[in-house]
Chains A and B, each alone.
Chain A
Amino acid sequence: MKIIFKGTFKIFFTFLFSIILYTNFILPQNPSNKQLSPRNANYDIDVKLDPKTKTLKGNEFLTWTNLSKDNVSELQFHLYLNAFKNSKSTFLTEARTGVSKRNQNLNVDDWGWIDISSMKTIDGNDLIDRIKFIHPDDENIDDQTVISVKLDEPVKPGKSIQLKIDFTSKLPKVIARTGYMDDFFLVAQWFPKLGVYEFPGIRNATKGGWNCHQFHANSEFYSDFGVYNVNITIPNNFIVGAVGTLLNKKENKDSTSTYVYKAEDVVDFAWTASPHFKVFDGKWNNVSLRILMQPEHANLTMRVLKSLKGSLKYFTENLGDYPYPNVTVVDPPLKGMAAGGMEYPGFFTIVSLWNLPEGLKLLENVTVHEFGHTYFMGILASNEFEDPWLDEGFNSYFEARTMDYLYGDKTSYVDIFGYHYGTRENQRLSYISLNNPKIANNYRASWEFTDGGYGVITYSKTATWMATLEGLIGLDVMNEIMETYYDRWKFKHPSAQNFINVVNEIYNKKLDKIFGDNLNWFFEQFLYGTAVCDYKVANIKNNEIDQPSGLYDSVNVKKLYRYKSNKEKKYLSSFLVSRMGDAIMPTEIAVHFSNNTDTLFIWNGKELNKSFTFEGQKQIEWVKLDPNDKNLMDINIFNNSLTTDKETAVNNKYFTKFLYLVENLMLSISMLF
């Protein structure tokens, strides 16, 4: 009995220890250990990669829960890989016709596609004949990136449907950040994936319906949250990385291994494989970090790690907690570089180059940017098809903040041989350098940038007006807005109005309506509109006021004014400010006078021309609009100030530099002959 007790005790403690070990170190952890999202689209997938044919054979067990109050009798799926099936797909048509600048010269070296061979309900009802390609955006009958499946029985509110789907995916040669290159694989957008059933309360929906757009050349993705259990089978020599946590790896008899991954509260699942990765593991607080580098880039790992840890710290402190247990960073090889710079929840690809000089922070920049997407694309999960700026723009804004915090606001992008600039500077330049800043407004779907401007407007312009908003209301208020927005809308698919409501709420609470009842005017101009901001100091005048001299009659007395000393000189000084653009922004104005005094005041910025006048013994020496550089939307910083004394030192400096450059150039050419 005693022996039995001891044995039972031992078994009990071994079991308990195993449970603790399993739950603490193997099972995916989120800091709060609770369900974070609705988890209404859950996938159990078994997939096997054949590296020779670049083909995936998979079966997917999908559980979808209807969160709406509607009876849903149709499902819609994305079949993203079919964008690379033929040249007439919407993606490739848009790429070819120049709608997407970044994919303009895209060549498909090896086609990719996805086929569904079987789709059954858990009861065994075959739905394969119900599958129909649909084209919700452009009526392009050659596009096969979205399917509709009519159901026999509608899914009732709060109820779930379970489907078993068999599929085959042929990966394209790396294109638009998915596919293979030699033995490197970035397996992304690879399985039949549900769209989002939107209903009142989600984004702008006024009634229930599927939001399932075709794959466009400019667009990225939009999905619901779920739990992914994915078993990946691949030859033994491959090293694998994926969204989520590796629970188990077992070697099979056929020289393959099966990797068991689990990811909770995520909107997507992607993975990578290559025999050549150098694996680096790290830790930041409770978050496990894994960096999969190309061997020739191994010496850059510490740079990636520093920017990754810095991002985790900055985002956690200024936006909100990082909820996932790990981050995986993937470095594609040179020829697979088209797979670089892409993001999935807690998993992203970077772009690096052999021995990239430390002064060129492109590697750090892409690391910070792609990491940030886990927050905006992955956790807030805005609709990247319809509101790309909510992800790319907000992420670019935070990318600049993080980079400038980590590497200095004037050195965070490039800092080499005395030539340096910061990420925010770079973003602003990108916007102000547009030949036509009115080419498109921010608030439009990604495929509607038919005249161009998608990249700059979505990324750089948004980041720049967000930085300007920060300047207008102050960093503390901006931080509270971003923290509130994140906390309130994480795992809920926010819309533009959701964000604006948060802005107005915090603005009214903190700033007591100093710029009006709300800040809608700001968004009307820069988000919904295409207003261009340009203020100018048009002139400065210092006119001496004539002092009385000569004889003046005054109640039977003739008064003589004889003297007009310098001390008594008075001036009517004025300056004219002109609004050259159509944007209206409250603007600070600094004025410096000849007696070395300054004044600073705020002008509402509304009038087209506004004159400000001062009277006294002092003259205006210079006037400066926006002296603290808060308004980054102003496209011309040179006409923001005017001085009565021409600045000569800078002119002389660049004159001598240019003279020296020309002399050296001439001498260098002549020394050849």
Chain B
Amino acid sequence: MKLIKSYFNGISSTLKKLKILSMLYVLTLIFALAVAIPFKDTISTNIGSSLAAIKLLKDFDYTTYSNFMHLFGDTIKPLYRTAFLLGIIYMLFFVFFSGGILSSIKNNTNSLSQFWADSWTYFPRFFRLFLYSFLVMVIITILVFFPIAGIIAAVSNSTKSEETYFYIISSGIIIYLFLISIIVLVSDYSKIMLISDNAFRPFRTMLRSVSYIFKHFFSIYGMNLLFIITGLALFVLYFIITDKVGMVSGFTIFIIFLIQQLFITCRLFLKISIYGGEVDLVKKIG
């Protein structure tokens, strides 16, 4: 099975790119700390000298949490906005870095200087690709959810049970997620084509990648599913471990912190592996 071989080749190729992986992790951590440190200061300033917060240590305590959000929620809300903005900037960084990641996979290098150079080289094309992908996602959102709203409105007079609404909305969400996953694949394979063909027309490349994906749909989507399952398995593993360890003392909080950061590294590892697997699959299926 080509897709399984490519899946493992993607993972093994990432193991040779630990410098790039480390740099991406540090960047992720810095971005997140930019919001998390003010968050910590806010908590410390508002309730740091109160014993009430201790109830939140062993378990979730709604009274404490809700009282905190009622009294100090206004100081936390701007941090959510900042986190969202940083998320967008981080995403653009990732668009930037994807050129470097894919080049390093294609050329089998782990050089950071080459990584930066390639990132700069491909960024203008990848940025346009990002804009097209974003636009397509918006169109898909409209194309899926407007008809769903229309169907709901049309059946509302004859529908007697909320069960019907559940199935209509669930079907819509499943279709939407499937289409979005296709767009993500189109974006990935377009990037690979832009690099391998040194092409300069992202939109035309997108169209080519669409036909390529549907031509090799089962291999491409099958491997994509394998990576999605891997990601979900990691999530499950994380929840099992954190549930067992708990966050009830300074020591266990530190252990969970390490596990969380390891998990974030795994997510980055998986993202690079997806690119690695896709590059390998393109080589195998032509």
Q: Which A residues have a C-beta under 8 Å from some C-beta of B?
A: 182, 276, 294, 296, 333-335, 353-355, 410, 418-422, 425-426, 428-429, 432-433, 622, 624, 636-643, 646-660, 662-667, 669-673
Whether a CB of chain A sits under 8 angstroms from the CB of B86 is: yes
Contacts of B32 in A (CB 8 A): 659, 662-663, 666
B62 touches A646 (CB 8 A): no
B71 touches A647 (CB 8 A): no
For the complex of A and B, the 10 pairs showing the least CB-CB separation, nearest first, are A421-B62, A670-B94, A641-B51, A659-B36, A655-B40, A662-B32, A660-B260, A666-B90, A650-B53, A296-B161
Contacts of A646 in B (CB 8 A): 44, 48-49
Contacts of A665 in B (CB 8 A): 83-84, 87
- Min CB gap A429→B, angstroms: 5
Contacts of B66 in A (CB 8 A): 421, 425, 429, 433
29 contacts between A and B (CB under 8 A): A182-B160, A276-B160, A296-B162, A353-B162, A354-B161, A354-B166, A410-B61, A410-B62, A425-B66, A432-B70, A637-B63, A638-B53, A638-B67, A641-B50, A647-B47, A647-B53, A649-B57, A652-B257, A653-B253, A658-B40, A660-B260, A662-B87, A666-B31, A666-B91, A669-B87, A669-B90, A672-B180, A673-B134, A673-B184
Task: Classify chain B's interface size.
Answer: 35 or more
B256 touches A656 (CB 8 A): yes
B interface secondary structure, majority: helix
For A663, give its contact among B28, B46, B130 (CB under 8 Å): B28
For B50, give its contact among A354, A428, A638, A664 (CB under 8 Å): A638
Contacts known (A353-B162, A638-B46, A663-B29); A669 close to B91, Cβ less than 8 A: yes
For B87, give its contact among A296, A426, A643, A666 (CB under 8 Å): A666
Whether a CB of chain A sits under 8 angstroms from the CB of B210 is: no
A335 touches B160 (CB 8 A): yes
B 35-60 to A, binary, CB cutoff 8 A, 1 in contact else 0? 11001100110111111111011001
Residue of A nearest to B36 (CB): A659
Contacts of A647 in B (CB 8 A): 47-51, 53-54
- Min CB gap B42→A, angstroms: 10
- Min CB gap B190→A, angstroms: 11
B90 touches A334 (CB 8 A): no
Whether a CB of chain A sits under 8 angstroms from the CB of B212 is: no
Residue of B nearest to A276 (CB): B160
Residue of A nearest to B29 (CB): A663
Contacts of A659 in B (CB 8 A): 32-33, 36, 257, 260
For B160, give its contact among A334, A429, A639 (CB under 8 Å): A334
Contacts known (A647-B54, A653-B56, A662-B83); A354 close to B163, Cβ less than 8 A: yes
B36 touches A658 (CB 8 A): yes
- Alpha-carbon gap, A660 to B83, bound state (A): 12
Residue of A nearest to B47 (CB): A638
Contacts known (A662-B35, A666-B31); A655 close to B43, Cβ less than 8 A: yes
B 63-100 to A, binary, CB cutoff 8 A, 1 in contact else 0? 11011101100000000000110111011011100000
- Alpha-carbon gap, A658 to B71, bound state (A): 19
B51 touches A670 (CB 8 A): no
Whether a CB of chain A sits under 8 angstroms from the CB of B267 is: yes
For A638, give its contact among B61, B71, B94 (CB under 8 Å): B71
Contacts known (A294-B161, A653-B56); A420 close to B62, Cβ less than 8 A: yes
